[in-house]
Amino acid sequence: MDYEGRICRTPGERGSFKLPISVGCPYNACAFCDLFKDLKYRELPIDQIEAELVRVRDVGGTPKRIMLGDGNAFHSSFERLSDIIGLIEKYIPSCELISSDASVPSIASKTDDELAWLAAHHYTLLYIGVESGLDDVLAFMNKDHDNAELRRQVARLQAAGIEFGAHIMTGAAGAGRSDENARATAQLINETHPVSVCNFSMGIAPATTLGAWVEEGRFEPASRQECLAEERLLLELIDIPLRFEGFHFDYDRENANCPSCTGNTAEFNDFITDWTHTAGTLPHDLGKLLAELDAAS
């Protein structure tokens, strides 16, 4: 299948077969994101999805994990998702886990019975753009949820048997608020129990709404040192077991574009001048992670 747009998936899915069922992002309005700005959201035809599954089967593919794409595949209706799952079960019976990105509203659009059906058919992991534990930051960044609604929808997921991974952004609160953001985000993580946390520490591309706000003086970015210190405090405050990965990018702000993380590496354009990657399991690797952040500071 031809893939439209930039491939971006959480590092935890680096070994999964990615099956596009849509193009772009149905919301596409977060102030910090430019991944899908050049794409108009649409759902791919079922026969195209079926043809891709047939192709994988015919070349001998037996993936155990399938990640549905693209941005927020969980936006699709339950009826459409159940049809796609039926095709996966028909052509790729080896599949043991289905995952995708999801927004809080896309979860709210499914009934409890629908969530339970999806879980029973191996759709058991969603990645949610949590971003920050501070509601004013979510509102400023034009996210489509607040943290009270996030808590409600995560509780519904977990009751149905679906786990979630949290995507966060140190630096999202801007300069001078790193400590506050770390504490609020750690509290949210400890309360909601994600199985993984991926920190895409904020790098601001000029092509985004947020990039324009920086130029206008409406937002002062946190420095690299602030972001590293924020991640360090966050790690110290998390008190549940989970898989953690953190990415910090330094940009030439005159020319930068967002990187896309694909597997073990990050694809960089010419304008990213430095990057730091931390990865480990908490609490086992806490000391190692803190030492890596100290070395990068």
Q: What is the CATH number of the domain that holds 275?
A: 3.80.30.20
- Tell me, yes or no, whether 63 lies in a domain: yes
Strands 163-168 and 123-131: parallel
Alpha-carbon distance of 290 to 297, in angstroms, equals 11
- Tell me, yes or no, whether 2 lies in a domain: no
Question: What is the residue-averaged pLDDT of the chain?
Answer: 90
- Tell me, yes or no, whether 57 lies in a domain: yes
- Tell me, yes or no, whether 55 lies in a domain: yes
Q: In the structure, what pLDDT confidence band is assigned to residue 158 with cuts at 50, 70 and 90?
A: very high
- What's the confidence (pLDDT) of residue 275? 66
Neighbours of 48 (CB within 10 A): 12
Residue 198 domain boundaries: 11-296
- Tell me, yes or no, whether 1 lies in a domain: no
Using the CB atoms, write b or e for 241-276: b if 16+ within 10 Å: ebbbbbbbbebeeeebbbbebbeeebeeeebbeebb
Looking at this protein, which amino acid is placed at residue 243?
A: R
pLDDT for 8 beyond 90: no
- If residue 166 lies in a helix (H) or strand (E), which one and from where to where? strand 163-168
- Tell me, yes or no, whether 4 lies in a domain: no
* Predicted structure pTM score: 0.91
- Tell me, yes or no, whether 219 lies in a domain: yes
- If residue 128 lies in a helix (H) or strand (E), which one and from where to where? strand 123-131
Three-class HEC string of 194-244: CCEEEEECCCCCCCCHHHHHHHHCCCCCCCHHHHHHHHHHHHHHCCCCEEE
Question: Which tokens hold the place of 69?
Answer: 């794409």
- What's the confidence (pLDDT) of residue 91? 98
Task: Count up the domains in the chain and report the number.
Answer: 1
100: β partners:
68, 126
Q: In the structure, what pLDDT confidence band is assigned to residue 264 with cuts at 50, 70 and 90?
A: very low
The string of pLDDT tens digits covering residues 72-128 is 999 999 999 999 999 999 999 999 999 999 999 999 999 999 999 999 999 999 999
- Tell me, yes or no, whether 6 lies in a domain: no
